[in-house]
Amino acid sequence: MESRIAKAIETKYPPIAIVWTDEKPEGATQFQEGRWGCIMWLAASAAKGRPAACDAATFGCVGGGVGMGFGDRYKSFPGSEEGFCHFLSSGIEGWAEGPAIAEAVKPFLQAETYDNFIHGERYVKTPEQVKRFLACLPITQIPKRYVVFRPLDDVASGEEPPQTVIFFADPDELSALVVLANYGRGDNENVIIPWAAGCQTIGIYPYREANAEQPRAVVGLTDLSARVFIRKQLGDHLLSFAMPFALFQEMEANVEGSFLQRHTWQELLATKR
């Protein structure tokens, strides 16, 4: 499935597709069951041309399980949801149940992760506020076994369409994508940047938007941890731009005759070549 958008904005990495399926592609990259990993590595694998997959046993981390649509995985975090609320905020210090949980998980954690468990990632101010954040997440249970990441070019036109199409974009490319998402709408709030994990901004948030009457695109990779994890794979200057397939089709149809064929965008392109 060739993309007019990708051709017009000349992205370094081709767009990728998220597909729900009961069969994974042969040779797909996949985490081992029970092993930690960042879902964004799977997305990066597809951006480089190799398909990747995860299921309910191989999603890498609890946030990734939630992000890909395998239900509410925060209950499986050490200390359950309460433990995660402390982990994302101020840490388990001062939490009565914290020391025993910390002692139990210490042999299985790297030093940095253990430090975050004790002292908190500090991405949210308090555990109570994390609870409110979790209540806002569009937690989803997908109806298929696998979430597969594939280069969009490898998705044939007669196949089941992707759930989500994702671009990895630099500032100029992201700007063009934002303009194009609004180009045919007649209003100006058709792209959102929710605060969430990198995987959640390419997974459950676009999944949710797919059910909207007027679906929006979702900008991501503002997750600092995901940025650390993915920079060796894709570089340190990219954000993600994910859209439900219906919006992708709308934007594809709007390339012809748009600003992408005018001199301002062509001038920006020329500086990159």
Structure tokens at 192: 């959102």
Residues 178, 190: Cα–Cα separation, whole Å: 8
Residues 271, 89: Cα–Cα separation, whole Å: 42
The 164-169 sheet, strands edge to edge: 52-54, 146-151, 16-21, 164-169, 239-244, 217-220, 191-192
Structure tokens at 171: 């500032």
How many degrees, rounded to 5, is the angle at CA 42 between CA 41 and CA 46?
115
How many degrees, rounded to 5, is the angle at CA 52 between CA 47 and CA 55?
140
Instruction: Spell out the per-residue pLDDT of the chain, length 273, in tens.
Output: 899 999 999 999 999 999 999 999 999 999 999 889 999 999 999 999 999 999 999 999 999 999 999 999 999 998 999 999 999 999 988 788 888 888 888 888 888 888 988 899 999 999 999 999 999 999 999 999 999 999 999 998 778 899 999 999 999 999 999 999 999 999 999 999 999 999 999 999 999 999 999 999 999 999 999 999 999 999 989 999 999 999 999 999 999 999 999 999 999 999 887
The pLDDT, as a whole number, for residue 103 is 86
Question: What are the residue ranges spanned by the domains of the chain?
Answer: 4-64+141-272, 73-136
The pLDDT, as a whole number, for residue 55 is 97
Q: How far is CA 174 from the centre of its chain?
A: 15
The pLDDT, as a whole number, for residue 129 is 97
Question: Which 3 state secondary structure label does DSSP give 236?
Answer: coil
